[in-house]
Structure 1
């Protein structure tokens, strides 16, 4: 089906990839796309609707109507040297026929191969909503794609809003006044500040769009029409929503259109016989077949709805036709300014007193609390709501995204960052559609609020039906590294998710990792101490155990000692009586001490679970404190260990993004694009650069490749050694043998021609026996300083984007997978951690009396590789092997670079909703 924003046939040269849905400052959505010649009428209407002031600012003259010549020039662009983007929304003509209305235009015209003049025109009604900033991001991304490196613009001094768009974009802007006109100029390379500005604007816009959904007051349920003897699945969905609204009406007004009938007579619930009886709507729940959704979305746009929750299935999970229906639904909703939750969503609810929203299939809303809960599938939501109820854990909001066609966990994290009602964020993820954006948002959120995540399938590589996710070739451990870098607490399953949430929601963050243990027996104390050590905690000397017949005085004495100032940082209390019945004295003493001191405490006590009243007390300021109780001591310690690790991450220096000097990213971009343009084999597995091309590309990032010569005969080898300098190393050029000293593929410290000739003959013999090659290619290279050989690799993954790995060279490292991973952009702390977390790292720090390696030089190489991988999505793979780290300096002895034409990354340097 062709939507109003898509031509029936895409014209040749039309850059489809530039189309995008965006969120504006007020939380509404809009569609951006390249301008087409058939937009002439829409452009004319747009110009006629502009105020005299806006027209003057754009054309430096009070233009009310464009001439045919002007209109042709503005709408006929080649989308290369002359590019134009428009922001559009659906509208209607005087007779009610649908059409598209243009609400903003951004364009550039090249004035030289690398420079273009940019101009904007924003509808009066849209000014102040951030549309100009979004258009600048998108037209700048298009310009960079076309080789434009710099924008200039002529702006009238009175046009303060447009000057502010340029000034606040984060670029290094220069401007000067000449003959009454301000000329603005800036380079288009993204800067640290421009990325931060974009992320901040994205955060505010996406948070505002979620706020509109979660604070909705006027809710419409659209049910299916009458059915036959057997009710359709949508009838059951609609009936559940109505039943829940009657049982737990919240603080909203629910209007029911369509089935079920009759609508119960209940407070806050009314029936509408037709669309004509439906007034303004904030949020709509759609329990209708997919064939009826488009009509409903169109009707909702007329009533000011900000979001739709699609409860029914029948979309992407059914195959290509269903995926097309899902995309049409999202495109139609975005074009009308609405966000989409679902399809196959369980709905959403909030528990804020006086503003409760129950727009879900849940029979009962969870109790009010401080946990923001996000999940995807409806079955997961059922499990979570039942578990929340059983444990007595309260939430601030719960949202099920279903197939996650639009609204995702990223959107909710943006909202919860500033939501005063939410103190803990929990995410149950069945797939991650944009790991780079997830990592960026989660890292920002985790700096102020804990984020706990369960990923179905552990690896994050399981894609449920209905989820549109790029394929990935990344190792399973990469997801763990992404979460670690982001400060996210990784839970193994739903049970552990709730365990950790209980601690975070009801206990203060720990100040350290020294754990004090209070147990009801010496054996229990020993078991808890072992579990604590496994969780990375240190058992404090104040730990103690109670005899079975301990008196209240003994309990108080031991508890006071455990909670004494400086005795420990966290407490684990375990009380499992064997013979003497539990009196509750230990629970009372621990609860009162924890409330009095504010020390993080968890418990495992026979007969107690969740957040029991026996473990509740009141702090000195009157604040109620509840100690979470766990079914086993191991569960309590595991949850506590994860919370301590997170608290430590919060206080650690997370570093700054690495920015090595001597980097020429523009030159690297030209080299890569030029090489791909000249090749006919850039698809598939891509093309491999030769050593000269590799050395040139590495040089753009300040990486020097140790020179070598390819030879085939002994005489060529001797000539190469004379030119490079003795002593030399001789290596086979075969990938199977080039690093295998044990198989004769490498000969080192060759000091004279005679030895080199003999080694050439021996290597030829090895090649004949192992490879069946009588005339093998070999490499001669000057001997590098002695050091520890390492391997650094990077590559572009379709889902995760750039990834970097580090390990020490050798079969043992490869066989044992002793490799550290990082996802650029990396900070200096991330780089240092990669070097130190491999198990073989002691070899770099003077193991066995060897001299310590130059760690600073090694980290510099790793940082440069990470920047290179981040800059160049065409870098399909890079391998530096070996990288020899000496006591002073690093030698990169061999490099392999493979390039491939790259699709746009999921987290491109422009704000856009998922395509």
Structure 2
């Protein structure tokens, strides 16, 4: 359990306070699924810190100060709360204090007062050297065991790395086993030493494979628990706008509240619905009752009626989930009134937030802050709601008049209109769901949260996502890859490129290549559907058929022509048509159907089956459907069908397997739809069986050295000609580029820029003959066809003549008065490639690979990846470009050393992941010979880093 620790190292520091680091503020999810706010400490926190200390047990106080400190002195308080946010840093976890009073009335009346915040945890460090600091923690007794200590460690470590700290030390009492475990279990290489009754703990702060895995695992458990709190709600409070004034028109909020009431009256699920601020008469329905006021929530239901059960913490009577159908101006007040009542989440049904402009966005952020401060998650705004179909615990907290049937599909979408379309499609196809969640503008709860939950949910076997925007692609990729390894994930991305941002979605701008999203999904194992129709097509195969063992498809059709057309569609989709394929004319006697079907389903005959029965004249009898369904159930062979008059999951294509389970074959309106859905499932099944590799971390990487170089080059006290431009950053010279690349084990072939032939000969003598000569102009340096490159020069006179010719070409083509040329020793013959990286505000680091040449750029023959990459990702990038055969002996040429090329690409991906300041890097060309890869030219641009959306700390969207 996370408990306080620390040591007596608080000594005054006269350093002046620096600017408040706003980017360190974050909302976080704890182990129990509740939320809290972490931020830098402020001088005005003194009273809250004193209350925190006086509320601690004697044991906790002793663990923190090595003495039974019950109350802090004024000097100690000032020392604790006045920091410089650089050499002395302190973070606090806070929650709202005891709320003030309010008054009766409908929703939105009063906000409970602006109560002071309560501190529930403190983490601090004090530098003892420029790169080492002592760290200490103090966690409130009431929240120990909820993971707050590990969260604060992540956040204070991230702040320390930002300030150049590379190592933490801490003094811990041996009895404080819980805090020792927090350090030990964080994934760092921890060293412990016992001296004079105190354990000194020390560890480097550089992220390791294990520390990343620990953080991801803790994040998974906390966010899954958070979603479980929402989806297992048994008591729901609907907060409406109240009845309209006489003669006033109904507002959108009135309609929303009434829709929820109508749905609850028709099917309340297995929940109790409390209604506060009803838009009209509350239906007389089981499980639905009105509440007169906020204060009435604390009172019995009526004369002799029982009060609501208390909240888990013994506070106000418990409510699990709240639905808000109130005007945006009243929403924050309502959320603050919900604090302390055990509410795990708030579903905001109304719109009127970020989509209305800056004021609406500010209102949306205030709403989320208020909810997180009170330990609640937010679904919405503009949400359709959420529902589950768990037998005996069905939750219906949505605008759906008739909830979908129970099934195995976990469905997440964003906008309410998309939810309406999807629920109608589910009903039409007969496809059931385990849960449906609509996030609306996705101010807080996102598809990432639901993927975390569905990974361990036994009732969900397929996850379907309808995404209009992706707010954190790096986290999405990380979470989706983990989920796809055990359950299929099918996604529709509106706008295809992911660069279309609907109104109301607060998403960072991106300049990423449009194909990057496709590559990210492929690497993550996500099945990409083209539209909602295909989303449901793929889902019904995955939900009701086993994953195929291979890609050999057996075709059973009602005519030879139809079989040929299906075979062509299958081959185009990457499937292999099996020899067992056959056709059955519509007039085939029933007793001749079974032998043909049995041959198709014989062991080893094929891996998947496509059955197509479209009679022209003779009516379809259903005999083929029955035979196929029984064979599929008997053998467990993946099967899809396209039969006239059948769609969705019809009873005619249902059968019982030998173990007694029911099997349904999905039916499609066209054979092409059936083949397309099947091909995507086959591709996913193959991804599941392939080795996904391990994150690359090549030998000889000096991340610390690179970090020191970058900080020095971007320091604000640079000379005017070297100071970084605020917008574009700082372009490194070739010596600096070589020094940075060397930190990642990449050797840059040296070159010399010269103006005369004699200087070129001297450079060749220094570098070694033969040499290559290139114009120094970026426009011509790779253009041999325009005279910008001459190779394999081994004669001084020839070199002098080439220098003059190249200068004349540059002067004529570019108008340069004194053009320069570049001399470089000839590299071994090989295939010229290009490796690039860039830092994007939305995607973070991006890496690309292609072969050099105009054709690559013109045809966009480039592979992309989002670090961190695995060795399998890197190998895939090299092999997926269309020109890749040139690397493997195309046309009789010697094969290139692709292992060396992959090593270069891996090192660049690690550099891009390590250095968010790496605005742009280009290695062009990288010549890959029969043995080794040579980096002949490189350019690097650094820029002060923006905080990445998926940093090395757990945090909710902010």
TM-score range, shorter chain: over 0.9
Match of 2:658 in 1: 620
Q: How does 1:409-420 map to 2 (within 5 A)?
A: 409-420=447-458
Can you list the C-alpha shifts for 1:475-515, whole angstroms capped at 9, x where unaligned? Answer: 11000000000000000000000000000000001011000
CA distance in 2 between counterparts of 1:360 and 1:297 reads: 18
Match of 1:842 in 2: 885
Query: CA separation of 1:12/1:314 partners in 2, compared to 1, >3 Å: closer, same or farther?
Result: farther
Q: CA deviation at 1:855?
A: 1.0
CA distance in 2 between counterparts of 1:74 and 1:223 reads: 44
1:88–1:102 CA contact under 8 A, matched in 2: yes
Match of 1:103 in 2: 120
Can you list the C-alpha shifts for 1:70-110, whole angstroms capped at 9, x where unaligned? Answer: 11111111111111000000013899861110000000011
1:767–1:774 CA contact under 8 A, matched in 2: no
2:295 is equivalent to residue 252 of structure 1 = no
Match of 1:495 in 2: 533
2:242–2:280 CA contact under 8 A, matched in 1: no
Can you list the C-alpha shifts for 1:281-315, whole angstroms capped at 9, x where unaligned? Answer: 11000000011111211111132211100000010
2:777 is equivalent to residue 758 of structure 1 = no
Q: CA deviation at 1:261?
A: 1.8
Match of 1:4 in 2: none
Match of 1:406 in 2: 444
Q: How does 1:371-770 map to 2 (within 5 A)?
A: 371-677=409-715, 678=718, 679-770=722-813
2:923 is equivalent to residue 885 of structure 1 = no
Match of 1:18 in 2: 24
2:303 is equivalent to residue 265 of structure 1 = no
Aligned residue-pair number: 905
2:67 is equivalent to residue 29 of structure 1 = no
CA distance in 2 between counterparts of 1:277 and 1:264 reads: 19
Can you list the C-alpha shifts for 1:838-884, whole angstroms capped at 9, x where unaligned? Answer: 11111111111111111111111111011111111111111111111
Q: How does 1:133-282 map to 2 (within 5 A)?
A: 133-228=150-245, 229-278=248-297, 279-282=317-320
Q: CA deviation at 1:534?
A: 1.1
Q: CA deviation at 1:260?
A: 2.2
Greater CA drift, 681-690 or 513-522: 681-690
Match of 1:821 in 2: 864
Can you list the C-alpha shifts for 1:323-365, whole angstroms capped at 9, x where unaligned? Answer: 0000000000000000000000000000011000000000100
2:400 is equivalent to residue 362 of structure 1 = yes
1:515–1:570 CA contact under 8 A, matched in 2: yes
SS class of match (2:97): strand
CA distance in 2 between counterparts of 1:399 and 1:31 reads: 25
Can you list the C-alpha shifts for 1:97-135, whole angstroms capped at 9, x where unaligned? Answer: 611100000000111111100000000001000000000
1:257–1:273 CA contact under 8 A, matched in 2: yes
SS class of match (1:807): strand
Q: CA deviation at 1:249?
A: 1.2
Which of residues 60, 83, 87 is equivalent to 1:81?
Answer: 87
Match of 1:782 in 2: 825
Match of 2:5 in 1: none
Can you list the C-alpha shifts for 1:704-745, whole angstroms capped at 9, x where unaligned? Answer: 001100101111111111111111111001010000000000
Q: CA deviation at 1:369?
A: 0.1
Which of residues 883, 900, 909 is equivalent to 1:866?
Answer: 909
Q: CA deviation at 1:684?
A: 1.4
CA distance in 1 between counterparts of 2:20 and 2:560 reads: 75
Match of 1:876 in 2: 919
1:605–1:629 CA contact under 8 A, matched in 2: yes
SS class of match (2:164): coil
SS class of match (2:47): helix
2:278–2:290 CA contact under 8 A, matched in 1: no
Query: CA separation of 1:694/1:141 partners in 2, compared to 1, >3 Å: closer, same or farther?
Result: same
2:90–2:125 CA contact under 8 A, matched in 1: yes
SS class of match (2:570): helix
Match of 1:57 in 2: 63
Q: CA deviation at 1:225?
A: 2.3
SS class of match (1:92): coil
Greater CA drift, 683-692 or 443-452: 683-692
CA distance in 1 between counterparts of 2:869 and 2:294 reads: 53
CA distance in 2 between counterparts of 1:847 and 1:464 reads: 46
Q: CA deviation at 1:548?
A: 2.9
Match of 1:297 in 2: 335
CA distance in 2 between counterparts of 1:398 and 1:796 reads: 35
Can you list the C-alpha shifts for 1:205-262, whole angstroms capped at 9, x where unaligned? Answer: 0000000000000100001023243101100000000000011110000011112221
Q: How does 1:797-836 map to 2 (within 5 A)?
A: 797-836=840-879
1:822–1:834 CA contact under 8 A, matched in 2: yes
CA distance in 1 between counterparts of 2:119 and 2:842 reads: 34
CA distance in 2 between counterparts of 1:20 and 1:94 reads: 25
1:515–1:568 CA contact under 8 A, matched in 2: yes
Q: How does 1:308-319 map to 2 (within 5 A)?
A: 308-319=346-357
CA distance in 2 between counterparts of 1:387 and 1:483 reads: 25
Greater CA drift, 840-849 or 374-383: 840-849
Q: CA deviation at 1:680?
A: 2.9
SS class of match (1:98): coil
Runs of 5+ consecutive residues of structure 1 not aligned to the other structure: 1-10
1:461–1:472 CA contact under 8 A, matched in 2: yes
SS class of match (1:250): coil
1:410–1:437 CA contact under 8 A, matched in 2: yes
CA distance in 1 between counterparts of 2:18 and 2:832 reads: 52
2:51 is equivalent to residue 67 of structure 1 = no
2:53 is equivalent to residue 47 of structure 1 = yes
2:95–2:119 CA contact under 8 A, matched in 1: yes
1:392–1:610 CA contact under 8 A, matched in 2: yes
SS class of match (1:476): coil
2:612–2:643 CA contact under 8 A, matched in 1: yes
SS class of match (1:731): strand
Runs of 5+ consecutive residues of structure 2 not aligned to the other structure: 1-16, 102-112, 298-316
CA distance in 2 between counterparts of 1:270 and 1:892 reads: 73
SS class of match (2:33): coil
Query: CA separation of 1:603/1:555 partners in 2, compared to 1, >3 Å: closer, same or farther?
Result: same
Can you list the C-alpha shifts for 1:777-824, whole angstroms capped at 9, x where unaligned? Answer: 110001111111111111111111111111111111111111111111
Match of 1:336 in 2: 374
Can you list the C-alpha shifts for 1:45-73, whole angstroms capped at 9, x where unaligned? Answer: 11100000000000000011111111111
Can you list the C-alpha shifts for 1:677-719, whole angstroms capped at 9, x where unaligned? Answer: 1243332122111100000000000000011001011111111
State the TM-score, normalizing by the size of structure 2: 0.94
Q: CA deviation at 1:448?
A: 0.3
Q: CA deviation at 1:547?
A: 2.2
SS class of match (1:723): helix
Q: CA deviation at 1:466?
A: 0.3
CA distance in 1 between counterparts of 2:218 and 2:771 reads: 56
2:256–2:349 CA contact under 8 A, matched in 1: yes
CA distance in 2 between counterparts of 1:896 and 1:680 reads: 17
Greater CA drift, 430-439 or 287-296: 287-296
